[in-house]
Amino acid sequence: MVEHRDDFGSKLGMWLFLVTEILLFGGLFIAYSYMRARYPVEFHHAGAELNATLGVTNTFILLTSSLSMALGIVAMQRGQELWSRILVGCTVLLGLVFLCIKGVEWAAKFHHGLYPDSARILTLPQGERIFYGLYFSMTGLHGLHVIAGMGVLSVMLVMMLRGRIHPGHYTLLENGGLYWHLVDVIWIFLLPLFYLAA
Amino acid sequence: MNSSTTSAGMGFLADEGPRRGLMAWLTSTDHKRIGILYLWSMLAFFMVGVGVGVLMRLVQLDTFHHLVTARTYNALFTVHGVIMIFLFVVPGLPAVFGNFFLPILIGAKDVAFPRLNLASWYFYIAGAILALLSLFTGGGAPDTGWTFYAPFSLQTGTNVTLAVFAAFVLGFSSMLTGINFITTIHRLRAPGMSWFRMPLFCWSLYSTSWIQILATPVLAITLILVMLERLFGIGIFDPTKGGDPLLYQHLFWIYSHPAVYIMILPAMGAISEIMPTFSRKPIFGYTAIAFSSMSIAGVGSLVWAHHMFTSGMSEFANMVFSLLTMIVAIPSAIKVFNWVSTLYKGSIDVQPPLFYALTFIFLFCIGGLTGVMQGALSINVHVHDTYFIVGHFHYVMFGGTGFAFFAALLYWFPKMFGRMYSKKLIIAAWFPLFVGFNMLYFGMLVLGMQGMPRRYYEHLPMFHAGHQVVTVGSWLLALGLVIYLVALIWAARKGPRAEGNPWGGVTLEWTLPSPPITENFEEIPVIDHGPYEFRKGGQHG
Ligand SMILES: [Cu+2]
C-alpha cells in the first residue's frame, strides 16, 4: 500500500482509544459509586486501613513521571534527542518505582491476610470485603496499565535509538505520552476514592 | 485461487504482493482482502452456529429428545448464542462490507490504519479459537447462556472463565475496527466528499463505530470482573459476599443493548444503498436516514434496563426505561418509511438483492413491532424469558441483520469477486428461507404467547404441536441457507465474469472495475454531487 502519513489522523485514533480506556475504568467507577452508596460506613472503616502516605507518595511519583514525559516530548520538538531519550527513560524508571511501592503495599496487605477470598477477609463485614475487592481490582488493573505504558515507552526508546522516531517525525512518541498521561489521570481518581475514603 | 490463467482483469484478487497463496491473504493489509478474510471466516462460524441451532430444535422432538442430555442442551444454547452474537452478527456487516467498501465509498485507497485492521482480524480469530477451546477444556462448555448472568456464571463448574475471555478478545477486535472506521471517515474522504455527500452506508458505519467505542469497554470491564470473581473471588457480583448480581445485569446490558444497534445499524445502511439502486431514484429523506442512525446510536444507549423489567428494579426506573424504549422505535420507523417511499414512483428492477432487501423490511417490521410490544411493561411481565423473546430477537437479528447481510452480499458480490452468481438459484433459495424462517420464528412468537419458557430442555404436552412446526421450519431454513451458500461459493470460483456496474448503481464502487484494483482508484476522484443522483448518468458525468 502507499505510504500514507497523517499525524492528525493517528492522534485522533489515539484519542478514541483513550476514550475506550476511560470507559473501561468507567464501569469500575460505576460499581464503586454504587457500592459506596450502599456501604458508606464500611468504606469509611476499610479506607482508614490503607496506607495514605504510600498512596500520596505514589501520586507524586506518577505526576513527576508525567512531567518528565511532557518534557521529553518538548525536547524532541526542539531537536534535543539525547535529552528526550533521558527524560523518557526517567519516565519508565519512575513507573517502575511506582510499581515497587505498589508491590510493597500489596505485600503488606497480603501479609495481614487481606486478599480476596482470604479467611480474614471473609470475617469482615460485607461492605469492607467489597471495598477490598474493588481496591484490588481497580489498583490491579491500573497497575497492568502502568506496565503496559512502560512497555510502550520502552519500545519508543528503542525506536528513538534506532532513529525511527526523530525530531522530524515523533507522532508515535506523542501518542505514547498521551497514554502515559491517561494512566496518570486514572490514578489521580483512584487516590481519593480509596486512600482518602476515610 | 488459480491465478496464472485467469488473472487478467481480476484486480486485487490477482495481486498477491510479495507472498503467495494463503500467506498472501494472511499477511495482506489491503482492506478488500481483509474484508474477504472476514467474510469466509464469519460464514464458517455462522454455519457452525446454524448446525447447533438445528440440533437444539431437533432435541425438542420426542424421537430425538435423548440425543443430548439436559446439561448438553444448556451448553448448546450457550454456544449457539456466543457464536452467533460475537462471531457473526456483531462483526457482521462492518467487518465484511465496511472493510471492503467504506474506503471505496468515500474515495480513499485504504482505511486509516491498515495494519491495525489486519490485527483486528487476528484478534477476531484468536477470540474465536479461545471460544472453541472453552468448549473442550476446563469444566466443559459453558452452560450459562450467552448472557453469562451472575451469580450462576460465578458458580457453575463449566469453563465460563475462558469463554468470557474469548468474548473480551472479540470485543477488543470490534473496538479497534470502530476506531479505524471513525478515523477513516474523518480523515480520508476524497476532495468534495462532504459529510452529506457520503452514501448512507458510511453514515451507518459511522454511528455504529461510535457505539462500538462507547459501549464495548463497559462489556470488557464486566467480563473482566466475572473472570476476577471466578479466579479470585473479589465478591462484587456475589450476593453471599455483599455483592450485587443486579449490578452485573446493568453493566452487561449497558453494552449489550447498544450492541443490538451495532448489529442492526450497518444492516440498515446496506439496505439504504440497495433501495435507490433498484428504484433508479435518489433515496427518499437522505438527511432523515443519516440523522436517525445517529439518534438510534444516542437514544439506544439509554434503554438498556428494558431487559430487566422483572428483575426487581424500582417501578419508576421501569417506567422511564419503558418510555425511552418506545422513543427509540421512532428513528427505526423513519427508516422503514423512507425505504418504502424510495420505491414509490421509482422504476423498480426486482433483482435478487432487492428481493432480499424487501424481505428484510418485512421481517424487520415484525421484529421491530414485537419489540415495541415488549417495551410496554404490562406485556413484558408476561412474555419475559419466553419463546416470544427468542422469536422477536431472531426476527430482528436474523430476519433483520441476517437478511440484510444476505442482500448486501448479493448486491456487492459481483464487485468483490468479479463474478456473477446464478440469480435463479438465489431466488430458489429464497422460498425455503422465507417459509422456514417464518415457521420457525413466528411459531416461537406463538409458543411464547402460550407460555413456553426459553432455554428449557423439556416442554409440556400442550406445546407439542407448536414445537413440531418450529422444528420443521428450522430444516427448511437450513436448506435455504445451504442452497444460498452453495450458489455463492460456486459463483466465486467458476461464475461468469461480472461487468463493472451490473446493477446500474451510481455510488463510487460502481465506477470501478469488478473486482477493483489494489489501490481502488488510479486517481482519487473529486466529488461534486450527492451519492444517489441517477439522472446525470453516472457518478463522474
Ligand atoms: Cu435491548
User: Chain A: nearest CA to B529, how far in angstroms?
Assistant: 26
- Model confidence band, residue B7 (pLDDT cutoffs 50, 70, 90): low
When CB atoms are compared, the residue of B114, B213, B236 closest to A16 is B213
Cβ of B225 and A38 within 8 Å?
Answer: no
Question: B90 by DSSP, 3-state: which?
Answer: coil
C-alpha grid cell, residue B427: 431466488
Please enumerate in sequence order all residues whose Cβ is within 8 A of that of B320, keeping only pairs 6 or more positions apart, or say none: none
pLDDT of residue B539: 42
Q: Name the residue among B80, B86, B96, B73 with its Cα closest to residue B47.
A: B80
A23 contact B CB<8A: yes
A129 with A112: CB under 8 angstroms?
no
Task: State pLDDT tens for residues B441-464.
Answer: 999 999 999 999 999 999 999 999
Closest to B58 measured CA to CA, from B49, B67, B50: B67
Q: ∠ CA(B324), CA(B297), CA(B328), 5° rounding?
A: 30
Whole-number Å distance, alpha carbon A166 to ligand 1 midpoint, is: 49
Give me ligand 1 centre to Cα B404, in Å.
20
| Position B2 pLDDT exceeds 60 | no
Distance CA B255, CA B304 (A): 8
- Cα of A52 vs centre of ligand 1, distance in Å, is 43
In single-letter form, the type of residue at position B321 comes to F
Alpha-carbon distance of B72 to B181, in angstroms, equals 40
Nearest to A20 among B109, B216, B234 (CB): B216
Lowest mean pLDDT among B134-138, B177-181, B263-267, B505-509: B134-138
Tell me which residues of chain A have a pLDDT lower than 70: 1-4
**Which of A13, A25, A136 is the closest to B113 by Cβ?**
A13
Write the DSSP assignment of B464-532 as a string of letters.
Answer: HHHHHHHHHHHHHHHHHHHHHHHHHHHHHHHPPBP-S-TT---SGGGGS-SSPPTTS-SS-----S-TT
The 3 state secondary structure assigned to B24-41 is HHHCCCCHHHHHHHHHHH
**Nearest CA-CA distance, residue B213 and chain A, Å:** 6
A residues 163-182 closer than 8 Å to B (CB): none
Is the Cβ of B113 closer than 8 Å to some Cβ of chain A? yes
User: Which member of B109, B242, B518 has the closest CB to residue A130?
Assistant: B242
Report the pLDDT value the prediction gives residue B537, as an integer from 0 to 100: 47
Residue A39 with chain B: CB contacts under 8 Å = 242
> Per the CB < 8 Å rule, is B225 touching A1?
no
Per-residue burial over A157-196, b if 16 or more Cβ lie within 10 Å, else e, is bebbeeeebeeeebbbbbbbbbbbbbbbbbbeebbebbbe
Q: Does A90 touch chain B (CB under 8 A)?
A: no
> What SS3 state is found at B539?
coil
List, as ranges, residues 444-463 from B with C-beta within 8 Å of A.
none
Our CA dihedral for B211, B38, B119, B298, rounded to 10 degrees, sits at: 0
CA of B265 to the centre of ligand 1 (A): 14
Query: Residue B18's pLDDT is what?
Result: 78
**Amino acid of residue B164:** V
A140-144, B16-20, B247-251, B298-302 — which is least confidently predicted? B16-20
pLDDT of residue A197: 79
- CB of B114 within 8 Å of any CB in chain A? yes
Selecting from A2, A13, A17 the residue whose C-beta is nearest the C-beta of B112 gives: A13
Q: Determine the residue of chain A that is closest to B212 in CA distance.
A: A20
- List, in order of start, the domains of chain B with CATH numbers: 21-259+383-422+431-527 (1.20.210.10)
What would the pLDDT profile of B39-48 be if each residue is shown by its tens digit? 999 999 999 9
Cβ–Cβ contacts within 10 Å for residue B381, how many? 12
Question: Quick one: closest CA in A to B221, which residue?
Answer: A24
Q: Residue B44, SS3?
A: helix
Q: State whether residue B140 sits within 8 Å of chain A by CB.
A: no
Q: How far apart are CA B131 and CA B146, in angstroms?
A: 12
Residues B126-160 have pLDDT tens digits of: 999 999 999 888 888 899 999 999 889 998 889 99
Local structure of B186: helix, strand or coil? helix
Please name the amino acid found at residue B79. V
What is the Å distance from ligand 1's center to B219 Cα? Answer: 14
- Report the amino acid identity of residue A128: E
Mean pLDDT of B70-92: 93
- For the segment B99-105, the average pLDDT, to the nearest whole number, is 96
Q: Report residue B540's pLDDT band, with 50, 70 and 90 as the boundaries.
A: very low
Residue B5 — very low, low, confident or very high, per pLDDT cuts 50/70/90?
very low
Among B305, B174, B254, which Cα is nearest to A28's? B254
CA A175 to mean position of chain CA atoms: 15
How do residues B468-505 score in pLDDT, each as one tens digit? Answer: 999 999 999 999 999 999 999 999 999 999 999 999 99
Top-level class of domain A2-195: mainly alpha
Instruction: List residues, by chain if needed, whose CB lies under 5 Å from ion ligand 1.
Output: B 257
Question: How far is B369 from B386, CA to CA, in rounded Å?
Answer: 17
- C-alpha to C-alpha distances, B410 to A150, B97, B199, nearest whole angstrom: 48, 11, 18
Average pLDDT over chain B reads: 92
Q: Is the pLDDT of residue B536 over 60?
A: no
Measured in residues, chain A has a length of 198
A-chain CB neighbours of B225 within 8 Å are 27-28, 31, 137
CB contact under 8 Å between A133 and B175, yes or no, is no
pTM of the predicted model over 0.90: yes
Is A9 an interface residue toward B (CB < 8 Å)?
Answer: yes
The answer to whether the CB atoms of A133 and B180 lie below 8 A apart is no
Question: pLDDT digit string (tens) for B311-323?
Answer: 988 999 999 999 9
Longest Cα separation, chain A: 63
State what percent of residues in chain B have pLDDT above 70: 97
Whether residue A19 and residue B213 make contact (CB cut-off 8 A), yes or no, is yes
Rounded to 5°, the CA angle A139-A140-A142 comes to 60
Partners of A5 on chain B (C-beta within 8 Å) are none
**CB-count exposure of residue B171 (10 Å: 0-12, 13-18, 19+):** buried
Give per-residue pLDDT as tens, B401-425.
Answer: 999 999 999 999 999 999 999 999 9
Question: Is the CB of B182 less than 8 angstroms away from the CB of A16?
Answer: yes
Instruction: List, for residues B188-216, the tens digit of each pLDDT value.
Output: 999 999 999 999 999 999 999 999 999 99
